[in-house]
Amino acid sequence: MLALVSAGLGAAIAFLKPEEHQRAAHARRRAYLAIEVEARFALTRAASSGQPVPLTIYRDLLERRRMIIAGQVDELVQLVAVGGASTKTENSEGGVA
């Protein structure tokens, strides 16, 4: 009987793949923290310059949030690593300031 329960639990763990879910949750958490840091940085920068935060920064942050919700964390990491998102943000700020 114990062997049957053990086999059933082993199959359930293999089916549910908790390690993958945990890794995905950690990746989402890191992505949300990165968005939070960038938002705080943008607000601090805007407050120190006396200018409002450009709408392009808000749009970029919302797009990143959408990607996290859609489960596209890997694509988001590649986008940020290549500089696609941060380049857009810097270019838009350069025109406003």
* pLDDT (tens digit per residue) in 51-84: 999 999 999 999 999 999 998 988 888 877 776 5
Whole-number Å distance between alpha carbons of 18 and 44? 39
What's the pLDDT score for residue 84? 56
Residue 94 has pLDDT above 90, yes or no: no
Whole-number Å distance between alpha carbons of 56 and 82? 19
Entry pTM = 0.67
What's the pLDDT score for residue 3? 86
